[in-house]
Amino acid sequence: MIGLALVPVLCLLAAGLNGCEYSSDSDEPRVADSPPSSSSSGGQSAQESQQGSIDALTEILGFPDGSGLPYASASAASWSAEIPAGTYILTAACVAAPAADLVVRLGNAEPERTTFGCGTGKVVYLDHQGGRISAEIVPLTDAPHVFTGVRLDPGPAAWDQETSR
């Protein structure tokens, strides 16, 4: 009975060792070199590359939260909306490009332009007096599969209380 229980365990151990190699210099196991992926050989389809960019952007930016506040994603995302007074966090992101410009305009004020590196999010704190907010992300390259996104979230309630003092 114990012998029957050992067979599956030994099979699992053998499968785990199958991915290891031993060098002649030491008895330390190391992970075997993996075969080249289809993307490194150019085998990845345009649809797979685009979906990869969308997935990477979503990891940085997150999904729309249902608050009704603006959220946009596209090759050059933008939105413009009437927003009530309050504190907000504007988050911008881009993938598959070296950098992008974030252009934010509050009401009729001059737009503010900030360049940031893609692959991470750019977070801007806004103490908004109410009215129109416009946000746009312009990638600094025309590379294929570039994806950008920009969202607006309410700031923590504590910020509203501190700014009203």
Residues 6+ apart with CB under 8 A from 51: none
Distance of CA 6 to the CA centre of its chain: 45
How many domains is the chain partitioned into structurally?
A: 1
**Among 90, 83, 86, 88, CA closest to 161:** 86
Q: Is residue 36 part of a domain?
A: no
DSSP, collapsed to helix, strand or coil, labels residue 100 as: strand
Rounded CA gap, 64 and 126, in Å? 19
Residues 6+ apart with CB under 8 A from 46: 144, 145
Q: What is the CATH number of the domain that holds 73?
A: 2.60.120.1300
Q: Is residue 87 part of a domain?
A: yes
Q: Which domain holds residue 126?
A: 46-163
25-84: pLDDT as tens digits: 433 333 333 333 334 435 567 667 677 777 878 888 888 887 889 999 888 999 999 999
**Among 72, 29, 75, 67, CA closest to 153:** 67
Q: Is residue 124 part of a domain?
A: yes
Q: Is residue 40 part of a domain?
A: no
Residue 20: pLDDT above 70?
Answer: no
